[in-house]
């Protein structure tokens, strides 16, 4: 029987992944943790532990006392927010990952850890970005994810740790807000469209970025973790594609539902980050090794977001 610890459980991905894991493994087998103690109220049916993920000793204590067999390590600072305090972002993203990898080595845990398209950057082909291109990341978040991928591969090769990872594109969802990413416009726009019928976008109209709807993102994590170990040949992180679009294309889709919707553009520092990232992702390796297939296109995402946003 699996017993699963989730770090950063109150974040955009955490809330939905935790619910999916409760459905798959049962509430008694899922332990949510987050630095924000108040987020306990989001997890009524399961045990919640306040946890600063950089406290590596505490991670090991929880693993031992709760008989944890898997960790979904989601706690991280994202691309845009990370630029406010690069050293703290590095400290949090790396120290927490190394603590989880050490616990995995010592207690024989299986680990899921999300990487990101932020690992790509200068020298990376932006269109149909392959699995292992040259890449010089433009943000400290991207540097931490790129280094993190190498650490994951190292622990897998050297200590046989069963670590699995995907490089998420921008995630779109309605259950919990995103926390300081460059792709956040693709969530904010839905809320503002519903509330005010207008949105001022911080990226230019023609900025094409890879995105993914949350049900696909959750399924990617669970399918990857459920795949037989013999099929998982990539221990850095897998490219996974969902859908690629620009703010202008999303606006046209939104106008099909809200004809009066208006968008304006005031690009800020996030434009430069977005311009360093891929416009589309080649996920052939994930397709071949564990049969990854996304299900949501832009039309379905738009319809479902508008239906579900309160």
The footprint of ligand AKB (CB under 6 A) covers 78-79, 116-118, 141, 168-171, 181-183
- Selecting among 72, 141, 199, 213, the annotated active-site residue is 141
Indicate the residue among 116 and 165 with the shorter CB distance to ligand AKB. Answer: 116
Shortest distance (Å) from residue 211 CB to ligand AKB: 9
Q: Which residues are 172's β-sheet partners?
A: 213
Question: Is 141 a residue of the active site?
Answer: yes
Dihedrals phi, psi of 265, to nearest 5 degrees: -130, 125
Shortest distance, CB of residue 114 to ligand AKB, whole angstroms?
Answer: 8
Where are the alpha helices (H) located in the chain, listed in sequence order? 12-25, 56-66, 79-82, 86-107, 140-159, 185-196, 214-226, 247-255, 270-275, 284-290, 298-308
Question: 166: Cβ–Cβ under 8 A, 6 or more apart, which residues?
Answer: 114, 115, 220, 221, 224, 237, 238, 239, 240, 286
Q: Which is nearer to ligand AKB, 167 or 235 (CB)?
A: 167
Give the nearer residue to ligand AKB in terms of CB position, either 3 or 204: 204
How do beta strands 136-137 and 162-164 pair?
unpaired
For ligand AKB, the closer of residues 11 and 99 by Cβ is 11
CB of 89 to ligand AKB, least distance (A): 11
| CA distances in angstroms from 160 to 109, 221, 281, listed in the order given | 10, 20, 29
How far, in whole angstroms, is CA 136 from its chain's centroid? 20
On whether the CB atoms of residues 255 and 304 are closer than 8 A, the answer is no
- The minimum distance between CB 76 and ligand AKB, in angstroms, equals 9
Task: Show which residues are catalytic.
Answer: 141
């Amino acid at each position: 029987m699996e017993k699963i610890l989730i770090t950063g459980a109150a974040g955009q991905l955490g809330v939905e992944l935790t619910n999916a894991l409760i459905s798959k493994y049962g509430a008694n087998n899922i332990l949510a943790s987050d630095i924000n103690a108040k987020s306990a109220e989001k997890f009524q049916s399961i045990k919640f532990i306040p946890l600063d993920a950089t406290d590596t000793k505490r991670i090991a204590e929880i693993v031992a006392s709760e008989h944890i067999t898997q960790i979904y390590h989601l706690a991280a600072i994202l691309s845009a927010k990370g630029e406010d305090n690069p050293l703290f972002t590095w400290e949090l993203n790396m120290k927490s990952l190394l603590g989880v990898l050490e616990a995995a080595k010592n207690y024989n845990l299986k680990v899921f850890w999300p990487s990101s398209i932020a690992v790509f950057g200068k020298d990376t082909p932006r269109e149909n970005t392959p699995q292992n291109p040259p890449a010089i990341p433009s943000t400290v978040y991207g540097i931490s994810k790129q280094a993190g991928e190498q650490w994951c591969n190292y622990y897998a090769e050297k200590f046989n740790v069963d670590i699995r990872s995907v490089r998420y594109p921008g995630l779109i969802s309605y259950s919990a807000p995103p926390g300081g990413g460059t792709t956040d416009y693709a969530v904010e726009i839905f809320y503002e469209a519903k509330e005010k019928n207008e949105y001022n976008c911080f990226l230019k109209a023609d900025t094409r970025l890879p995105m993914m709807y949350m049900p696909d993102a959750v399924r990617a994590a669970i399918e990857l973790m459920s795949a037989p170990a013999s099929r998982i040949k990539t221990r850095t992180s897998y490219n996974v594609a969902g859908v690629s679009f620009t703010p202008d294309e999303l606006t046209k889709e939104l106008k099909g539902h809200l004809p009066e919707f208006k968008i304006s553009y005031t690009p800020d520092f996030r434009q430069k980050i977005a311009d360093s990232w891929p416009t589309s992702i080649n996920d052939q390796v994930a397709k071949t090794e564990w049969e990854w297939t996304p299900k949501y296109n832009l039309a379905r995402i738009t319809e479902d977001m508008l239906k579900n946003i309160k």
